[in-house]
Structure 1
Amino acid sequence: MDHPLISITVCMRDAEEWIDDCIESLVLQTYRPLEIIAVDDGSADSGLSILERWSGEHNGIPVRVFSQNPMGLSAGRNLAVEKSKGEWVAITDIDCRPDPYWISEMFSVSDGLGDEEVWAVTGRTIFEKGETKISKLRSDSIARKYSGRPRLASLANGPCSMFKRAALDQVGGFNPEWYHAEDMEVSLQIIQAGGVIIHTPDAIVNHIAESSKSVFLRKRSRDARAHVRIRRKFGKHGVRKPNGVIHLHDFVSDAERVVWLFPIALLGLSFSMFSLLTFQSPIRNGVILVSIIWVFLIVKRGNEFLWSIALWHGAILGLSDIILGRNGHRKLVKREDQS
């Protein structure tokens, strides 16, 4: 198999503490020929100056650094693709540390089987467990996602994937208008166009622990907000291929397991309040006991309960995006031009 040039692209904003470890892991990749394109998306910290120290050649791998005004991850990825020269374009995130064989493992399966037209290859992201309950929850959740993932995937994940340049050109690259989940949009467009995404669990990318509860909840809200857009544009269960077959989503979140905790808690609280105001003893005493047990169960699953609230918050924001026609949504109701 001929070895074409592969470009690794990484974008960052205000990530000074992660840059050195990330770029070092990229210049330790075993695959050749390789180039690294790094884009700073308008950092306010010293990230750009740290990144520029890596500009040049390391281990025979050229590293080129570019910067732009803060325009978002999709715009940064597009700039990186534009500046790159590889036949394949890999993407990762600045808070990731790819295994040295990451690119080699993805390239080893890039020919596919039979007449498969492989347009993208995705690996496996492993979140460090960290020291907090939230970081362990996140690590376990991601591990469950990958554990049963099939070879033919529906998502080329942002931290650990590579795309054929021609495929990115055909689908128009990453949409800067999309609020989040730009990797999922491109992936589903690839499948719509007849391309195949291969998943290989041997192409490993290590992700730093997601230890902050506020960051975790903010990201889960953002995921839910983007999910509204994905479902609206591509359908509820999957994406239709050119032959009419639906390719089902294979990277399903644990959100389905926790999303109903918040509404169930509200329902239980409402029933308890109604019962306390309506019924007399001893029924009232029973209701009080049930309410205490109910509160105990919620507290015991506190992080998952907050996760559920974040999902509903994101869903509400997603619905508002539809109404207002923002963040990649077409307007729900278009006003006719006034003549």
Structure 2
Amino acid sequence: MTKRELPMVSVIVPSYNMEEYIAETLDSVLASRYDNFEVIVVDDGSKDSSLAIAKRYAERDSRVRVFAQPNSGVSVARNLALKHCRGEYVLPVDADDKIEPTFIAEAAAVLDEDAEVKAVTCRCMFFGNREGEWQLPEYDVHKLATDNRLCASSMYRLRDALRAGGYSEVVVAREDWEFWISMLKDGGKVVKLPTVGFHYRVRAASKRFRDRGQKAQTIAGLNRLHPEFFERELGGKLHDQRSQSRLRNRIYRLLHPREVFVEKEYAHLEWFVKALPRMVEYAQSGGAQSPVALKMGEQEVLVETFKDCRESLTNSSAKQQFMAPKGDLQPIAYYAERSGLCSTDSYCIYIKK
């Protein structure tokens, strides 16, 4: 391929107080053996000389562009970079890590050859305070529900990132995991190159859950953003003890049986409907009242909620409402769940005609 035929790759580098490392990172990227890439550095309000160093690189090399923002976090920085990307493909690289000279070319070739591939990862090595290979488990969308299985520096298509909504600015500490769920939960291949392409620097300040409160906040954010995904893969919500989520959800379902009905035309919303109690709970915690306005994927719905002092699931208020449509609202599904010995929570889902 000639340079013009090569798809452009945008390497996005969020940076915060990385004056010790950013030059090494940029040197590794600029040494790439690929003839059509750009580097977008977003300085996230650094208090050291990181921004000045990045600007010097931009002055010397037209492939480098630099943007600055007030300190807002890595997700906001990456999203700003995505807005400025000129490339068809995107490779995130943190400002203290490094890539191999061949990684961009090898990853771009995979994306170029197979339209069904959404992400290209590689073998990864630790350096700094730890050495050796990072033994990431093989990608599996089912196991993605309980653990992040891709490193942040995996290449993807810009259009897929934008379709996924970019990086979450509300999930704390595990924004990469949330990003991959958003991009891959509805399908798409992941290819792992057999070669080492990425070097992850381990420092004392490397990311990790700082405390249980932060972990709980992250889990809650993931459940709020992807209720239908966790319902499909785990049979319910993601729990703090992630590996026990499926078992705990099975036990919960034995104690809280349910009846669910979805019109055939809206069968694609089944997992959203099955996750409805949590979706309504999240909306009501923000002040929403019945009927609750929700989005199930791209579908806007209204949900009427009921609390019945009866044991039977087959005669719930939601089912009765479903059988007796009203006005300009078309019922498309109902959900009833045993909430106590003699009580049932039920929900009727409508769309506007």
Aligned to 1:39: 42
Aligned to 1:14: 17
Q: Is the 8 A contact 2:89 2:108 kept in 1?
A: no
Superposition pairs for residues 76-91 of structure 1, below 5 Å? 76-91=77-92
Tell me the secondary structure at the aligned position of residue 85 of structure 1.
Answer: coil
Q: Is the 8 A contact 1:40 1:68 kept in 2?
A: yes
Superposition pairs for residues 22-101 of structure 1, below 5 Å? 22-56=25-59, 58=61, 62-101=63-102
Q: Is the 8 A contact 1:56 1:62 kept in 2?
A: no
CA 1:192/1:151 → structure 2, altered by over 3 Å: closer, same or farther? closer
Distance 2:228 2:173 in 1: 18
User: Which structure shows the higher helix fraction?
Assistant: 1
CA 1:220/1:83 → structure 2, altered by over 3 Å: closer, same or farther? farther
Tell me the secondary structure at the aligned position of residue 173 of structure 1.
Answer: coil
Shift of 1:100: 1.0
Superposition pairs for residues 1-339 of structure 1, below 5 Å? 2-56=5-59, 58=61, 62-111=63-112, 117-128=116-127, 130=129, 135=130, 143-144=134-135, 146=136, 148-150=137-139, 154=144, 157=150, 159-211=152-204, 218=210, 222=214, 225-231=217-223, 233-234=225-226, 246=233, 330=282, 333-336=285-288
User: Which structure shows the higher strand fraction?
Assistant: 2
Aligned to 2:313: none
Shift of 1:150: 4.4
Structure 1 unmatched ranges of 5 or more:
241-245, 248-254, 258-328
Aligned to 1:318: none
Q: Is the 8 A contact 1:127 1:206 kept in 2?
A: yes
Distance 1:18 1:129 in 2: 11
Deviations, residues 251-289 of structure 1 (Å, cap 9, x unaligned) = xxxx969xxxxxxxxxxxxxxxxxxxxxxxxxxxxxxxx
| Structure of greater relative contact order (alpha carbons < 8 Å, 6+ residues apart) | 1
Tell me the secondary structure at the aligned position of residue 175 of structure 1.
Answer: coil
Deviations, residues 25-49 of structure 1 (Å, cap 9, x unaligned) = 1100111201100010111112111
Counterpart residue type for residue 176 of structure 1: E
- Under a length normalisation based on structure 1, what TM-score does the superposition of the two structures give? 0.60
Aligned alpha-carbon RMSD (Å): 3.7
Shift of 1:199: 2.6
Distance 2:189 2:230 in 1: 14
Distance 2:40 2:185 in 1: 28
Shift of 1:12: 0.8
- Under a length normalisation based on structure 2, what TM-score does the superposition of the two structures give? 0.58
Structure 2 unmatched ranges of 5 or more:
235-241, 245-280, 290-353
Distance 2:158 2:86 in 1: 9
Q: Is the 8 A contact 1:25 1:100 kept in 2?
A: yes
Tell me the secondary structure at the aligned position of residue 95 of structure 1.
Answer: coil
